[in-house]
Amino acid sequence: MDLRFRILDEAATLPSRAHSGDAGLDLHSAQAAHIGPGERWQISTGLAVEIPEGHAGLVLPRSGLALRYGISLVNAPGLIDSGYRGEIGVLLLNNDPAEGFRIEPGDRIAQLVVVPIADLSPVEVEQLADSERGEGGFGSSGR
C-alpha cells in the first residue's frame, strides 16, 4: 500500500525507513531551529500526508534524540486523523536543563507509524464486564 505525501516546502524530505522492517518512517525537519533548555517548538516537516481511511498516523519520538539530547514530543504520540490534509508539524520539547538543541533542515526529528483503527460507537452501560485486573490503576502491578 502506498502512503501519499504532498511536498509543501522545497526543504522537505520524504519520510523513509532506516532499516527494512522498521515500523516507523523517519520524519525530517524542513527548517533550522534552536530549542533552548526547557523550551518547546513546533517544527515544520514541509509535508502533508493522506492517511488511508480506517487508519491513523501516530507521530512518535526518536529514542536516540531522547537518550542523547533529552528531546521528546510534547504530545507523544501526536495523532494525524485520516481526514487531515494540512502540514505535519512536530512539537519538540528540550528536556535538558542546561544545553540547547540545534536542528537543521533534513535532520530526523520524529517517526510516523500508521495503524488501523476500529470504528467503535460509545454506548453507556450499567456495568462493565469483570477482568483479572479490575479497577487496579497507576502502580497496581508493582514497581
Q: How many domains does the chain have?
A: 1
Q: Count H helices, E strands: the chain?
A: 1, 10
Query: Hey, is 95 helix, strand or coil?
Result: coil
Cα angle, residue 119 at apex, residues 53 and 57 outer, rounded to 5°: 45
- Residue 135: pLDDT band (50, 70, 90) is confident
Among residues of the chain, what percentage have pLDDT more than 70? 97
Phi, psi of 12 (to 5 degrees): -70, 150
pLDDT digits (tens, 9 = 90+) for 77-133: 999 999 999 999 999 999 999 999 999 999 999 999 999 999 999 999 999 999 988
More confident residue, 104 or 139: 104
**pLDDT the model gives residue 88:** 98
Q: Is residue 73 part of a domain?
A: yes
Domain interval for residue 89? 4-15+29-116
Specify the CATH number for the domain of residue 95: 2.70.40.10
